[in-house]
Amino acid sequence: KQEVTQIPAALSVPEGENLVLNCSFTDSAIYNLQWFRQDPGKGLTSLLLIQSSQREQTSGRLNASLDKSSGRSTLYIAASQPGDSATYLCAVTGGANSKLTFGKGITLSVRP
Amino acid sequence: SAVISQKPSRDICQRGTSLTIQCQVDSQVTMMFWYRQQPGQSLTLIATANQGSEATYESGFVIDKFPISRPNLTFSTLTVSNMSPEDSSIYLCSGAVAGNTIYFGEGSWLTVV
């Protein structure tokens, strides 16, 4: 059974800092990995999708990497801003059109 | 991309009643899923909504409690039946598009009293 872990559960950083959010998964036979953002009282916003054959994806200040063999992914946020404060969730799928297995998320607070 | 709309966005429900949540996608999606997010927890898949046939439920979820319909490629409903306080959660609809990016609605926040 696939398990996704995100540690720590919460993180507080000063504005402007570069930071890395970690995600690990137990079964390396994934199809893809997706990072989401969830703001309080809101649904999930897709940030980046990495296919199993890819090593990284970039969107603006965000860069996600994937090391499938070691069961790890990182989300790098450059020059963090207070607007980046949210919960960041990592999720993996085992096949095309398969369900997502989620981690519990990392709640990020960026202090002005 | 896909934009997913859910109704209602919030509701307070009486114990023992049922509530149907609607999910509308602005484009055709290959798959539609329903998730639950209990307070302080991550998301758990309830079922995969199949067009024109019975939904596929995950372990621990049954059709009598969570009947699901998907009459076409862009619409689905989830009913939470005979509600109890333990059903107080966020219920999220999601859809998978080509390339397998999965998009989520804003969620339906249910409180059962």
Q: What distance separates the 2 farthest-apart alpha carbons in chain A?
A: 41
pLDDT value at A25 more than 70: yes
Determine which of A44-58, B36-50, B90-104 has the lowest per-residue pLDDT on average. B90-104
B-contacting residues in A 73-92 (Cβ below 8 Å): 89, 91
CB contact under 8 A, B100 and A36: no
- The DSSP result for chain A, as a single string, is ---EE-S-SEEEEETT--EEEEEEES----SEEEEEEE-TTS-EEEEEEEETT-SEEEETTEEEEEETTTTEEEEEESS--GGG-EEEEEEEESSTTPPEEE---EEEEEE-
State whether B106 and A34 contact (CB < 8 Å): no
Q: Is B107 on the interface with A (CB under 8 A)?
A: yes
Answer whether B42 sits within 8 Å of A105, measured CB to CB.
yes
Q: What sign does the dihedral B51-B53-B56-B62 (CA atoms) show?
A: positive
B30 vs A44, A49, A97: nearest CB: A97
Mean pLDDT of A87-91: 97
pLDDT digits (tens, 9 = 90+) for B33-61: 999 999 888 899 999 998 888 899 999 99
**How high is the pLDDT of residue B101?**
81
